[in-house]
Amino acid sequence: MKKILFLTRNFPPMMTEGSTRAYQLARQLQRNDWEPFVIGPPAVSGLDELKVKVKGRAKGAEAALNASGEDPFVRQEDEDDSGISALLEERFPFPVYHAGEPLSLKGASQAKAFRVIRGMPQNSFSAIKRGVGGLFSADASDNGWEESARSIAEQLLAEHPDIEIIYAQGPPVTPHMLGLELSGKYNKPLIFDCLEPYDIEGGESVSGMPVHQRLKKLEDQVLHSGQALIMPSRAMKVLFLKKHSGRLAYDDISIVENGYDPEEIEAISGFYQAGSVMRWTFILERLTRKEIAGFLGSIAALLKSQEGLRGALSFALIGSQRSDIDDLVRKSGLGDCVLLPWCYSRQAELDLCMMADVCGVVLGQNEMNECYVPERFYDAIGMKKTLFGVVPEGVVHQILSSVGGRVVPVKNIGETGDAILDLVSTWQAGQLQPSADDAVAGYKISESMKILIREIGYRLLPE
């Protein structure tokens, strides 16, 4: 079995953007006769105390009752799901080493623990004001990660000299820099996985010019190193090509898209059962506070104009911007029909998506969001749900169109309620259509793996 070294600060149990991607790539490589050695983010303690299992409700989620006094997001069976946990990253089938100063969630508030596990700024108000998503800041303090990861990596490379190639994911920049160092020192080919430009912090350019210049220099060093470059979307590739016009060729970058794993989806497929309440799960990412207020306000206006729907609809809001929007929900008058779960694991979010009749994604009107797709959205595609999006032009808009989903341009966020009403009428008539099998088949993670394995093969060819 061939061996590969993974360097990433995004890996479960962290829920930062890139965590599911790194896990799935490692898992898929293992299924293709590779043995991954993962050096990931710091160990997290106290997480089990937060993931309290509430009988009949989604694991890891603090449920709320709707107007009828019932919880519409209910697991139908309180069964042993140890096999599911193994599939969904809680027990890894390959070695994972934690680098950096350990994180303790013991005694942390729900909101603080939520932000820590997602790598979000602790100043939550400034984060939501800027529209920060789940991605680590490219210039975030590494809390000793690089030094610790270097020590672990050198020990692994000494014990396993047959490690053939290194995978490094960023931002943050430190895994890329460490990968470049180890590649040169041990003469190993390297694959850079670039999630976003370095000088993007939560979807906005870094304002401090010295920081911006330093990150630009580091990005240039990586992109022009001659090593393999992969990116999660064609839009991201085009962005980098424009940014480095004349210095990068089109074939210098390969596209390895995110996707869903059919085995994981099958493992939780039994948790859905139709009910008398229409259930919606929305993934909220990279929105400004004003945009979130507009989204909630449109739903509130719908329920005010259609009083009969109150109690017949239930909305679960997940994603990194679940944090600190409680006041907006209260102000909108939606407290009786909006579920605000504290999801500390991917499994908790998957449960809520699987139990929904409609899965939706809401993204802010930001240029970078045109290139960005929340990882959980790919899982929703694999569930073959009816899909809904309030999004800008870009990758998510294109995906929704390709699978027959309903799209509301985020610039027209006030029209969300009208679009929801159309789907409610369809649901009431028993005609809600799931995504077609042939439409979602191309989004399997196994399809993307063909490109990654091909790229690895090129790098391992004898010179």
CA atoms within 13 A on the CB side of 385: 33
DSSP state letters, 246-267 = TTS-GGGEEE----B-HHHHHH
CA atoms within 13 A on the CB side of 180: 18
Burial class (CB in 10 A: 0-12, 13-18, 19+), 83: exposed
Sheet holding 190-194, edge to edge: 96-98, 34-40, 2-7, 163-170, 190-194, 228-231, 253-255
Q: Is 102 helix (H, G, I), strand (E, B) or coil?
A: coil
H-run or E-run covering 281? strand 278-285
What pLDDT, in 10s, does the model give residues 76-131?
Answer: 444 444 444 545 555 688 999 999 999 988 888 888 899 899 988 765 444 444 44
Q: How confident is the model at residue 20, as a pLDDT?
A: 95
Q: How confident is the model at residue 422, as a pLDDT?
A: 95
Tokens encoding 234 = 């064609």
Full pLDDT tens readout for the chain, 463 residues = 899 999 999 999 999 999 999 999 999 999 999 999 999 999 998 887 776 433 333 333 334 334 334 455 544 444 444 444 545 555 688 999 999 999 988 888 888 899 899 988 765 444 444 444 444 443 455 778 999 999 999 999 999 999 999 999 999 999 999 999 999 999 999 999 999 988 764 334 444 556 777 888 888 899 898 999 999 999 999 999 998 988 888 999 999 999 999 998 888 776 666 678 899 999 999 999 999 999 999 999 999 999 889 889 999 999 999 887 899 999 999 988 999 999 998 988 999 999 999 999 999 998 889 999 999 999 999 999 999 999 999 999 999 999 999 999 999 999 999 999 999 999 999 899 888 888 899 999 998 898 999 888 888 866 5
100 with 141: CB under 8 angstroms? no
Query: What percent of the residues of the chain are helix, what percent strand, and what percent coil, each to the nearest 5?
Result: 45, 15, 40
200 - beta bridge partners? 205
281 with 359: CB under 8 angstroms? yes
DSSP state letters, 296-335 = HHHHHHHHHH-GGGBTTEEEEEESGGGTT-HHHHHHHT-T
Domains 2-50+82-260+444-460 and 263-443 share a fold: yes
Burial class (CB in 10 A: 0-12, 13-18, 19+), 367: middle
What pLDDT, in 10s, does the model give residues 123-168?
Answer: 544 444 444 444 444 345 577 899 999 999 999 999 999 999 999 9
H-run or E-run covering 294? helix 289-305
Q: How confident is the model at residue 60, as a pLDDT?
A: 36
18 with 10: CB under 8 angstroms? yes
354 with 271: CB under 8 angstroms? yes
Q: How many residues does the chain have?
A: 463
DSSP state letters, 193-240 = EESS-TTEETTEE---HHHHHHHHHHHHHHHTSSSEEEES-HHHHHHH
According to CATH, the topology of domain 2-50+82-260+444-460 is Rossmann fold (3.40.50)
Task: Tell me how far the alpha carbon of residue 221 is from its chain's centroid.
Answer: 27
Encode 275-303: b = buried (16+ Cβ within 10 Å), e = exposed. eebbbbbbbbbbbbbebbbbbbbbbbebb
- Domain boundary assignment for the chain: 2-50+82-260+444-460, 263-443
Tokens encoding 117 = 């596990």
Q: Which of 45, 47, 159, 170 has the alpha carbon at shortest distance from 98? A: 45
Which DSSP state fits 278?
E
H-run or E-run covering 165? strand 163-170
- Label the pairing between strands 200-201 and 204-205: antiparallel
Q: Is 20 helix (H, G, I), strand (E, B) or coil?
A: helix
Q: Which of 89, 80, 72, 78 has the alpha carbon at shortest distance from 38? A: 89
Q: How confident is the model at residue 89, as a pLDDT?
A: 52
d(CA 380, CA 273): 16
Tokens encoding 379 = 């899982």
263-443 CATH choice from 3.30.830.10, 3.40.640.10, 3.40.50.2300, 3.40.50.2000: 3.40.50.2000
Inter-CA distances, 88 with 119, 255, 268, 343, 385, Å: 20, 24, 10, 14, 19
Spell out the residues 6+ positions from residue 92 whose beta carbon is closer than 8 angstroms to its own.
Answer: 38
